[in-house]
Structure 1
Amino acid sequence: MTRRAPPSVRASAFLRDEGGATLVEFAIVISLFLLIFFGLIDFGRLAYHVVNSERAVHAAARVAVVRPPACPSVPTFVSLSGSAPAGTDYGTKCSAGANICQAPATITCTGSAANPTAAEVWTQARVVLPPNSTIANLRFTYSYDPRLSFLGGPYVPVVTVALEGVDFDFVTPLSALARLAGAAPGGPSPGSSIPMPAISVSLPGEDLAHGGNG
């Protein structure tokens, strides 16, 4: 009959046994390697989308400055200010003095497919924007700059086109790999998506098609 070792001896032997240590170490190392590898892929995709989005917004702004406004209620012409000096002639630059031209309020709106300018901008920009972006992620702003207009002439604002509220979706399980690699539960780790930085471009308007045939 075989005698069994006392429990204390068996526990000590169990604690000294390193038979599965290599497998555990391999699991941690391979998780860390995959985290780095897939992280390079996904953050490379993020950089690609950011660069392409910047190019798309630049192109969108170039279209917006030569088209009718994408927002309603943008003035068509520059009006005389109620406190303009007596004898102010039409054609006077708005920057020639204080209170010559009536300063329109800044107007901002989100893109809408019902607006021809916004629809044209979106048609050109959507090709290179992240797949989950929509025309509503485009924001148009028209702000007054007295250096761009003259009294009685077409209203020429500074036109800003911005891409906002777009999320970047990861395609790899970075959160799970981070936990396998030793990330603390509840600590910071990449999620399934992160917000992309807002991108905006401002250009002086080119009379918003009021002074030509376009």
Structure 2
Amino acid sequence: MSKIEQNKAKKKRAILLAAQNVFLSEGYLLASMDKIAVEAQVTKQTVYRYYSSKSDLFKAMLEQMGENSEVDFLDHLQLPDTEEALYQFARGFIQAHLSDDHLATFRLLVAEGGKAPEMTRSFCAVGLDDTDVKLTEFFAERLGMNNAETTVQLWTAMLLAHRAAVLIGMEKPTEQQIDQHAKDATAFLLAAISGH
């Protein structure tokens, strides 16, 4: 990578980190390209050179947060043992959705999504559809379930059972509690499928 490309990548990272800090601390509606430029220590023109609008920058920030996430729960679906793949997916999915960044983003969406629907569209475009598609494919290939969309929605909702309590300020579940919830939800899913 040339020096110029390195500098561009460095500026882009600084802008995305600044965007994350500003959006999650001040909110989407109060955030401005000016504030993000100041936080990133670049000019507003530099921010616009990389991102044509606040909405584009918000979406890029979400993508960056996803890439930086320590947990890539979709990778677990490649495990050869079906039950283990589902359990490991469940564990990673719960952990990702209880991360501080995810919770802050979700709070922002709830607080301001009605006034800034482009924010919610960006959030949905970045990750939700991909997860649903991959799980639906997994259910078809491994469990012989066609049209598993409703089952996928029910199972992922079950996995998110702790999130509502944490969002309103309750304590996060421990790793042991997350592990047990993932095991129980996976066992429940597989028992319900085999009962058909």
State the TM-score bracket (shorter-chain normalisation): under 0.3
TM-score by length of 2: 0.25
Greater helix content:
2
Higher relative contact order (CA 8 A, sep 6+): 1
Say which one has the larger Rg.
1
TM-score by length of 1: 0.23
